[in-house]
Amino acid sequence: MLNNKQIIVILDNIRSVHNVGAIFRTCDGAGVHSIHLCGITPTPEHKKVHKTALNAEEYVKWEYFKSTQEAVNKAKEQGYAVFSVEQNANSSKLNEYDFPEKTALIFGNEITGIGPAIMESSDKVIELPMAGKKNSLNVATCVGIVVYYIKMKL
């Protein structure tokens, strides 16, 4: 059973239309409140996003922001705690944290990740525990794991 935590997913300069479409489908399934599309991230007007999302973009609220910082500022103004999902020296493991009722999650570019300034403006940086040699996942896969982990934790 999924809990009632209100989650915003913030996509920081995601390149792939297919990742964005898959993220819309995942967010619809998990009951995510909204998606903030930032910078170069494709929006649902792009027909390949629509094709991959399979109409999920019609059910999940979304908003476009020219910069990720604008999206972070809006989430904070609305009372959300903001978490960057990124591996770095100061990150905490996903399973070591209890998430508040209003949580915003930032996911970064497939190659460069989340920029340092955005991570600094976050309340906390979290990461998925990794056991493999590659230490990375596709961003759409990562969104699914993190969102469902938070929504299923009672």
* Domains of the chain and any CATH numbers: 6-152 (3.40.1280.10)
DSSP state of 99: P
Residue 127 pLDDT: 95
Residue 154 burial (10 A CB sphere; 0-12, 13-18, 19+)? exposed
**Predicted TM-score of the model (pTM):** 0.96
Picking from 80, 64, 63, 61, the residue whose alpha carbon sits closest to that of residue 72 is 80
Q: What is the pLDDT of residues 93-137, one digit of tens each?
A: 999 989 999 999 999 999 999 999 999 999 999 999 988 888 889
> Which of helix, strand or coil describes residue 104?
strand
Which two three-digit tokens encode residue 128?
A: 């998925």
Q: Identity (one letter) of the amino acid at 130?
A: M
Q: Which helix (H) or strand (E) holds 45?
A: none
* Burial 118-137, CB ≥16 within 10 A → b, else e: bbebbeebbbbeeeeeeeee
